[in-house]
Amino acid sequence: MSAARYAVFGQPIAHSQSPHIHAAFARAQGIALDYRAIEASPQEFAAALEAFAAEGGVGANVTLPHKEAAFALCATTTSRAHRAGAVNTLLRKGDGWHGDNTDGIGLVRDLTGRHGLDLRGRRVLLLGAGGAARGIAPALLDAGILELVVANRSPARADALVDAMAEPGRAISAYWEDLREQGDFELVINATSAGRDKDAAFQLPLSLVNSLTTAVDLNYGGAAIAFLAWARAAGCRNSFDGLGMLVEQAAESFRLWHGVRPDTDAVYAELRERASTLVTAD
């Protein structure tokens, strides 16, 4: 009997650690798995996804830049995917796709479990309003943060994300140019691609940081260097990349597909050893 077919879609996708992560999870659980990376441009994504289904694909992960497009292609979604308006996990049901978003729970598990942070009562600055930001915003609010401020180069995108959260006064948008007027935050999260040029400086006002600030980049490896360098220069108490979130969200996808949530510690430890070779985030 051939192994069930799964894939991760994105552009670019050659960097993706998802095939390695899911292969490791499957070995540990004794599950036969065929998981591959499929590159598709935004124009090609819908057709590539349907071709994958026609060839027997039963589940998929979705990374940049397709998370919002994937949501639009789903016949059904979970409540957290609906709230986010973005999907990173697909499961074939009948003739259509069922969509979920495991990014938010993956981030919260990493921050609270692996790094021991208490998110309750924290002011949080979220940089970016695309699919990655949409995926984590609901989970942060559900984790008990005090306030979520969303800043994006395109203010309309930030406004749309905040409106989707339906948390007036608790989730608000801010102009990027006015960040220095927003006060300080206990958690600053980079959900943009601005730092992917590792030779470029990431410029943010130092006034955003207080003595308790944790900085998190949803990217990992080389793509997180610029933001994490800013965090260290600004005096943040902690700074993390998105590798832990990547592993935790993958475990949640695996649970949706296979009915069991794998242990993540061994896979995370292995990838952390190789972190210098990783280039970007799912």
Report the catalytic residues. 67
121 known ligand binder: no
Residue 52 CA to residue 54 CA, distance in Å, equals 5
276 known ligand binder: no
88 known ligand binder: yes
129 known ligand binder: yes
- CB 33 within 8 Å of CB 5: no
135 known ligand binder: no
- Hey, how many other C-beta atoms are within 10 angstroms of the C-beta on 47? 10
103 known ligand binder: yes
18 known ligand binder: yes
132 known ligand binder: yes
**Contacts of residue 158, Cβ cutoff 8 Å, sequence gap at least 6:** 129, 150, 151, 152, 173, 174
Phi first, then psi, for residue 23 (nearest 5°) are -65, -40
Q: Locate all alpha helices (DSSP H) within the chain, ordered by sequence.
A: 18-29, 45-54, 67-73, 79-84, 103-109, 131-142, 155-165, 225-234, 243-258, 265-273
249 known ligand binder: yes
76-77 and 147-152 strand pairing: unpaired
116 known ligand binder: no
142 known ligand binder: no
203 known ligand binder: no
- Hey, how many other C-beta atoms are within 10 angstroms of the C-beta on 232? 10
- Hey, how many other C-beta atoms are within 10 angstroms of the C-beta on 155? 16
Phi first, then psi, for residue 172 (nearest 5°) are -135, 160
- CB 67 within 8 Å of CB 88: yes
Binding-site residue numbers are 16-18, 63, 88, 103, 128-132, 218, 220, 242, 249
Binding-site residue numbers for NADP(+) are 128-132, 218, 242
Binding-site residue numbers for shikimate are 16-18, 63, 88, 103, 220, 249
